[in-house]
Amino acid sequence: MPENFRHSTPVPEIVPSIDPALRRSAARLRECMAMALPIWAARAQRPDGSWVEHLTLDGTPDLGAERRWRVIGRQAVAYAQGTLAGWHDGTDTARRSFDAYWSQGWTGTHMVHRIGADGTVTDGRHDLYDHAFALLACARMLQVTGNADYHRKAQAVTAYLDRHRHPAGGWYEGTVKPTPRRQNPHMHLLEASLALFEATGDGADLSIAHAVIALFDTHFLKDGLIGEFFGDDWSPDPACGDHVEPGHAVEWVWLLRRYEAATGTDRRCARLSLYDRAFRQRLGRLYDAEQRDGTIDRQTTRLWVQTEAVKAHLAMADAGWAGAAGMAAASIDAMFGTFLRGDGLWNDQLNACDAVLSDTIPVSTLYHIVGMAAEADRLVRGRP
């Protein structure tokens, strides 16, 4: 292993000074993940290492559904993180997932968009969002294994990004849907860049992160809200420029805290602005979609949104914000029996009365659940 690649380290003990409620909640999540990760690998991973798109509500894999190919890369991320956290040795699962993801999806210049159940490429177009997760998968695999081949693959993804830089800043959306421009794939490029730096310790791997933060400062953040859709010059899209997603706003809270840790910069004002606006009169769950004026578009709540809310509370607790650890613990506990089922599966979306709206269990949500659990574990164990 090259000496400059920083891979998995022994799991530290619990930090005694952490809020006791959060310690208990983090322990519940660890137990949940230790049970869920082997269940999902047994039920949803296919013999070639790829995954089904979803399970039915009774836990049966849907072997006929077309796959969003980035989801296979996200599974590699989830099992790498579970291994790094020490809950479950998913190294082989992560490796098999990544091998299928890369060998079937990478064309030599870009990652394909969708692949059918029979392994046939059904949509070979390229999309910026897909490549954010390609870079993240390379980073987490490098971190968990120390194998330099994953770094070379990360460089292939960054070469794609270099070819698709936009003159107005950021990157072109790709050929799946060239317009409007979206903040979401740029946000995930920040996540991927931070993960790559975490794996290598090389400051050059933060260059993408710095570029995305510049976009955040100049275009994404306005009045405590994150704009979602934009024109070519980053002006708000005239058709959907007022659309906001609370889940993305709180995801930014966590990412800004991680950017602070990586760079030593102070993003406190932006974090506080987003955190205050997201949870103002929303002390419980966050809705899926709203308008800038606070009008609720859909009184529905998806699980991934709530996992990102927990990560925002954890980020603020990490920064010493009073009450944030308790909010994280309460939010985690509220997921059990509503979103998180006792059989290692989950309900993906609920309505305002807690009735289940989803008719499948998407594999893609595992990335969010594992990310939440990993962040809770990091905080209670005092990891950097």
Query: Taking residues 308-325, what's their average pLDDT?
Result: 96
Query: Taking residues 22-46, what's their average pLDDT?
Result: 98
What pLDDT score was predicted for residue 17?
76
Query: Taking residues 320-331, what's their average pLDDT?
Result: 96
Q: Label residue 5 by pLDDT band (50, 70, 90).
A: low
> What whole-number percentage of the chain has pLDDT above 90?
92
What pLDDT score was predicted for residue 2?
40
With 70 as the cut, is the pLDDT of residue 34 above it? yes
Which residue from 233, 316, 234 is spatially nearest to 270, judged by alpha carbons?
316
With 50 as the cut, is the pLDDT of residue 66 above it? yes
Helix/strand/coil for 342: coil
Helix/strand/coil for 179: coil
What pLDDT score was predicted for residue 12?
61
Lowest mean pLDDT among 8-22, 232-246, 267-281, 315-329: 8-22
Query: Taking residues 30-48, what's their average pLDDT?
Result: 98
Q: Are 250 and 274 in contact (CB under 8 A)?
A: yes
Average pLDDT of the chain to the nearest whole number: 95
> Do strands 243-244 and 296-298 pair parallel, antiparallel, or not at all (unpaired)?
unpaired
Angle at 61 (CA atoms; ends 48, 336), nearest 5 degrees: 120
Over the range 101-121, which residues count as b (16 or more CB within 10 Å of their CB) and which as e? bbebbbeeebbbbbbebeeee
What pLDDT score was predicted for residue 3?
40
What is d(CA 131, CA 24) in angstroms, rounded to the nearest whole number? 36
With 50 as the cut, is the pLDDT of residue 1 above it? no
With 60 as the cut, is the pLDDT of residue 104 above it? yes
What pLDDT score was predicted for residue 383?
87
What is the dihedral angle through the alpha carbons of 105, 108, 111, 116, rounded to the nearest 10 degrees? -30
Query: Taking residues 136-160, what's their average pLDDT?
Result: 98
What is d(CA 114, CA 146) in angstroms, rounded to the nearest whole number? 29
Q: Label residue 18 by pLDDT band (50, 70, 90).
A: confident
- How many C-beta atoms surround the C-beta of residue 60 within 10 A? 11
Lowest mean pLDDT among 16-25, 104-113, 156-165, 346-355: 16-25
pLDDT digits (tens, 9 = 90+) for 285-304: 999 999 999 899 989 999 99
Angle at 112 (CA atoms; ends 107, 117), nearest 5 degrees: 115
Q: Which residues pair with 230 in a beta bridge?
A: 181, 236
Q: Label residue 255 by pLDDT band (50, 70, 90).
A: very high
Q: Label residue 15 by pLDDT band (50, 70, 90).
A: low
Sequence-distant (6+) residues with CB within 8 A of 44 are 51, 52, 55, 61, 363
What pLDDT score was predicted for residue 298?
86
Q: Are 189 and 164 in contact (CB under 8 A)?
A: no
Q: Are 377 and 81 in contact (CB under 8 A)?
A: no
Sequence-distant (6+) residues with CB within 8 A of 145 are 7, 91, 95
Q: Are 285 and 301 in contact (CB under 8 A)?
A: yes
Higher local confidence (pLDDT), 351 or 383: 351
Residue type, 15: V
